[in-house]
Amino acid sequence: MTSARRIAAGGAIATAAAAALTLTAKAGGRWAVGRTEARLCTTAQLPPYMASERARALHAELWVADLHADSLLWGRDLLQRGSHGHVDVPRLLEGNVALQVLAASTKSPRHLNLDRNDDRSDDVVLLAIALGWPPATWRRLLPRALYMASRADRFAARSDGRLRIIRTAADLAAYDADRGARPDITAGLLAIEGAHALDGDPANVDIVADAGFRMMGPAHFFDNAFAGSAHGVEKGGLTDLGREMVERMEGRSMLVDVAHASSATVDDVLAMARRPVIASHTGLRGVVDSVRNLTDAQARAIAETGGVLGIGFWPTVCGGTGAGDIARAIAHAIRVAGIEHVALGSDFDGAVPVPFDATGLILLTDALIEAGLDDDAIRKVMGGNVHRLLAETLPPGDQTNGAISSAALAAPSVSTGR
Ligand SMILES: [Zn+2]
């Protein structure tokens, strides 16, 4: 071997060693993130789930939709059935879920609490590094959101048609037609949890809309440039930038989601909204009196916009740890906001304890029967209302093409770290 060849071979070995190290680090990172997910995203009752004959018959014919899950965050391959967490394609199919909203949660403070958080710390950057996400996602939040959208698109592309990402009313209509013939398919819809993902610029609404995001909350766990959070320090309302953002979102057919918003932000959004407003994962103060939950007046105002309330599955919104507690919280929301305006907002994979994973939604159908709802009411709550809302509010069609390419641009070179 000539010395030049020897150097080349040495270089190749060094490159291979570096690649092996990177792979090992990534596997280690995924393992550590998986342990964190398993510790935070608990399930009170593990599958399999037993339901009544009547619930089984009814659940099988429902169009089930859930308005909030954080499954894109944890690094799991959502095409594989996970041994922890709550949502992946196999479990959505087994649970007869027609549509799962997949949220991009781009920044989460350390020592998260319901009452008071500032924006100085950021746990999501630790996940991004541990999972080997592109370096742009370590520094800024918009690339983080776009990278999560690209993960969803990659899952869909590799799913043999089992997973679709719905972006337009035309996508929804085509999906419905296909699902009639082929029940082994499910769908996702992209959302953003907290407008800090816009990196301070309301014009970035166009970028997230192009990437296919169809709902966004003004704030998550801390106050940001656009709005106050229910869990922030100031807990103020919409800022001028926030008002511009809401206008731009409505102009791009994105739903404004007031989950996590401060009471002042909820009121400000409702005062200016011209299109339906949603609370994707929430509770009512009549069930649990907390800053996180909506007053009866706010719930009714959301209904008046034509929007829906996704009732959450964890104790501080539904008041308990079982399917019966969720059903009672739903029954209360129906009394306050009306049967057309109540939906599911599990917060699966959202670092809160829930009674069951996505395969256990049949337990909720059963509990709603127990709570005295008739079949038509159950059909609406379990997903019918979300279907109506999306059919009415999604952009009509042909806005998907630019979407995938801009998401891909944000993450040009990543083939691992799904
Ligand atoms: Zn949340």
The per-residue pLDDT string of the chain (418 residues; one tens digit each, 9 = 90 and over) reads 445 555 555 566 666 666 666 777 778 888 888 888 888 889 989 999 999 999 999 999 999 999 999 999 999 999 999 999 999 999 999 999 999 999 999 998 888 888 888 888 898 989 999 899 999 999 999 999 999 999 999 999 999 999 999 999 999 999 999 998 998 999 999 999 999 999 999 999 999 999 999 999 999 999 999 999 999 989 999 999 999 999 999 999 999 999 999 999 999 999 999 999 999 999 999 999 999 999 999 999 999 999 999 999 999 999 999 999 999 999 999 999 999 999 999 999 999 999 999 999 999 999 999 999 999 999 999 999 999 999 999 999 864 444 443 444 344 333 333 3
70-80 burial, b at 16+ Cβ within 10 Å, e below that, comes to bbbbbbbebbe
CA of 165 to the centre of ligand 1 (A): 21
Helix (H) or strand (E) holding 247: helix 240-251
Which pLDDT belongs to residue 412? 36
Which pLDDT belongs to residue 3? 55
Which pLDDT belongs to residue 187? 98
Which pLDDT belongs to residue 112? 83
CA of 193 to the centre of ligand 1 (A): 7
Which pLDDT belongs to residue 5? 58
Q: How far is CA 134 from CA 55, 108, 200, 409, in A?
A: 45, 18, 21, 11
CA of 345 to the centre of ligand 1 (A): 9
Burial of 2 (0-12, 13-18, 19+ CB in 10 A): exposed
CA of 77 to the centre of ligand 1 (A): 21
Kindly state the greatest CA–CA separation across the chain: 84
CA of 347 to the centre of ligand 1 (A): 6
pTM of the model: 0.90
CA of 53 to the centre of ligand 1 (A): 34
Q: Strand pairing of 277-282 and 163-165?
A: unpaired
Contact 103, 145 (CB under 8 A): no
Cα(26)–Cα(68) distance, rounded to whole angstroms? 27
- Answer whether the bond into residue 48 is a cis peptide, omega within 30°: yes
CA of 118 to the centre of ligand 1 (A): 16
How distant is the alpha carbon of residue 51 from its chain centre?
A: 27
DSSP 41: S
CA of 12 to the centre of ligand 1 (A): 46
CA of 90 to the centre of ligand 1 (A): 23
Which pLDDT belongs to residue 120? 86
CA of 126 to the centre of ligand 1 (A): 19
CA of 350 to the centre of ligand 1 (A): 7
Which pLDDT belongs to residue 28? 85
Which pLDDT belongs to residue 381? 98
Residue among 153, 117, 122, 155 at smallest CA distance from 138: 122
Which pLDDT belongs to residue 119? 87
CA of 281 to the centre of ligand 1 (A): 7
Dig out the tokens for 62 from the structure: 């429902």
CA of 169 to the centre of ligand 1 (A): 25
